[in-house]
Structure 1
Amino acid sequence: MELNVSRPVFAKGFWTRTQKKPAQARKDASLTRWESQPWRRQLRDAAEYEHPVARAALVQALMAEGLMMDADAARFAGASEDRDCISIAQVLRFADSLALRMAMACTDDHVLQLAHLRRDAEALAERMIEWANAGRL
């Protein structure tokens, strides 16, 4: 048996698989998880996921409709990414990060607080999707 070490052999498409896709072609993992759940409310226009909305205006609109828990979640969901604006994708990423924090929580109280916050963030995402589909966002 002869071993040829002079020229590396790569499988077809090796270089194309290792290259990163353009930012527009990549899909956020949190969006993929959300869309894989058929009972969740879905957007009609996928471009609305990243559409930024003024955070203060959204909080004010939620409070005007009496949705205090959604307004509280809107105040800090995705604030680490952008303090002034919020998008549906930011809320979904925030909910996913809460799931990770729940796994690392040390006390039952901490897990319970994070679970409530995650539930509120998911409710906010559904409300934002509903408003985006209605043209209100």
Structure 2
Amino acid sequence: MMRAMESRTQGGRERSGAVAGGARWEAQPWRLQLQDVRAREHRVSRSALVAALLAEGFTVEADVAEFAGALEDRASLSIGQVLRFVDSVRVRMALACTDDEVLQLAYLRRNAEELAERMIDWANTGRLPA
């Protein structure tokens, strides 16, 4: 059993990967779960999402929504894109050279995770903008 667990990790650290990272993130019991897994890659208008977040006072999440996943698609955003962005920030944290860089990236990762949680909550309640 221990050997099987070791094969999934490297030196006690989880390996990052687009699919594995998203599954790992969603598997955490304290995270909201998507009721419809197809909603994970459902793209919504980035500008509509930002406007909805700002209207409800989620300014930090709105800031993250403006650039998270922009390399994949500048006009729209999906929960999957945000989760892949979280994984990329985790990798950048491991490569950071200074404590200040690690701290800034940790805040960015936390804010991106909160954006993903908000999007999951909205998807589950049918409030995710089109």
TM-score relative to the length of structure 1: 0.79
Indicate which of 100, 103, 112 corresponds to 2:94. 103
State whether structure 2 residue 111 is matched by structure 1 residue 120.
Answer: yes
Q: Distance in 2 between matches of 1:39 and 1:55?
A: 26
| One-letter amino acid matched to 1:127 | R
State whether structure 2 residue 52 is matched by structure 1 residue 61.
Answer: yes
| One-letter amino acid matched to 1:47 | R
CA shift for structure 1 position 39: 1.1
Count of residue correspondences: 111
TM-score relative to the length of structure 2: 0.83
Q: Distance in 2 between matches of 1:34 and 1:47?
A: 16
CA shift for structure 1 position 106: 0.8
CA shift for structure 1 position 31: 2.0
Alignment-derived partner of residue 36 in structure 1? 27
| One-letter amino acid matched to 2:103 | L
| One-letter amino acid matched to 2:86 | A
SS at match of 1:28: helix
RMSD, aligned CA: 1.0
Structure 2's unaligned 5+ residue stretches are 1-17
CA shift for structure 1 position 108: 1.1
**Which structure's CA Rg is the greater one?**
1
CA shift for structure 1 position 34: 1.7
Greater relative contact order: 1 or 2 (C-alpha under 8 angstroms, separation 6 or more)? Answer: 2
Tell me which stretches of 4 or more aligned residues in structure 1 moved more than 4 Å: none
Q: Distance in 1 between matches of 2:71 and 2:92?
A: 15
Larger relative helix fraction: 2
